[in-house]
Amino acid sequence: MAEENMTLVTEFLLTGLTDRPGLQVPLFLVFLVIYLITMVGNLGLIALIWKDPHLHTPMYLFLSSLALADACTSSSVTPKMLINFLSKNHKISLAECLTQFYCFGSSATTECFLLSVMAYDRYVAICNPLLYPVMMSNSLCTQFIGASYFVGFLHLAIHVGLFVRLTFCKSNIIHYFYCEILQLFKISCTDPTINMLVILIFSSFMQAFTFVTIMVSYAQVLFTILKKKSEKGRHKAFSTCSAHLFSVSLFYGTLFLTYVGPGSGPDEDKEKMLSLFYTIIIPLLNPFIYSLRNKEVIGALRRIIKK
């Protein structure tokens, strides 16, 4: 009877990055600029790749799909955060929370698999160049991309389905700038052990599988590069892989520091900064990491500008 008389919470309050009133407007302006650059960079890269026939190759099809995942990741978190900077009402409904969690989680999972298939693509291109057109055709590339997004959507559908079993009847305050799932578990009135176990198993397996795939692919690439007698050939191979390796280091390095990094006890400020990095900063950096030193992308941009 006591449980039946409890009022179930259907709205939450996001505390955001800071509670200092003087920082709200400056932070709004900073993150608004970051969000606009992120969207222009990622959507512009997608448009450029699809517009230029020279870039209709597996490498750039994967890159455009990664840019789409980054745009989705940023859009799932940043707009609500921007609204909260200027609004006194930091409420978010349970339905909005679930939508935000689903969009962010599915795009992040998709990015893991896209990074792994991009590593495999570089492995085939460098280690088996003569067989590359056969082993990495555009149709197979499309299947890899479709499978990556499908796994991302399915993975989060499982977690959202399990999330529905939880109830919230005490605190409705989320000490975060978005609906982070572990923060919701802390204020749940229902025991979230099953949910946490499923997330641990699925997320650990997927991150381990994709990371090992990337490491094995690049180990083979490294051995092949070192065997090359031509200094020019080695330099070209390294430059081809450097952008992707840097992006992988940022993505998995942040995840590692967030969930496996050293520290005694939880540090909310550290968790927020790391979450900020992989939800907002990495989607901002990726299009520039892959574009600034890429001669084909720069060439395509110049051709579009001339037209």
Q: What is the CATH number of the domain that holds 75?
A: 1.20.1070.10
In a domain, 6, yes or no: no
E strand or H helix at 280, and its extent? none
Both tokens of residue 31?
A: 């993150």
Cross-strand bridge partners of residue 13: 91, 173
In a domain, 4, yes or no: no
Task: Enter the pTM of the model.
Answer: 0.89
E strand or H helix at 92, and its extent? strand 91-93
Identify which of 123, 147, 283 has the alpha carbon closest to the alpha carbon of residue 214: 123
Output the CA–CA distances (angstroms, integers) from residue 87 to 70, 90, 291, in the order listed: 26, 7, 36
Residue type at position 212: V
**Domain range enclosing 38:** 11-306
Count CB-CB contacts under 10 A for residue 180: 22
**C-alpha distance across the termini of the chain, in Å:** 73
Domain count, the chain: 1
In a domain, 259, yes or no: yes
Per residue of the chain (307 residues), what is the pLDDT tens digit? 344 445 577 788 888 887 787 888 999 999 999 999 999 999 999 999 998 888 888 989 999 999 999 999 999 999 999 999 988 888 898 889 999 999 999 999 999 999 999 999 999 988 888 888 888 888 899 999 999 999 999 999 999 999 988 888 878 888 888 988 888 888 888 889 999 999 989 988 998 999 999 999 999 988 888 776 667 666 766 777 888 888 888 888 887 776 655 443 446 677 788 888 889 999 999 999 888 778 888 888 888 888 7
| Cα–Cα dist 150/285, whole Å | 25
Cβ neighbors of 45 (< 8 A, separation 6 or more) are 63, 64, 67, 287, 290, 291, 297
Cβ–Cβ under 8 Å, residues 212 and 113? no
Phi, psi angle pair for 14, to nearest 5° = -90, 125
Cross-strand bridge partners of residue 12: 92
In a domain, 99, yes or no: yes
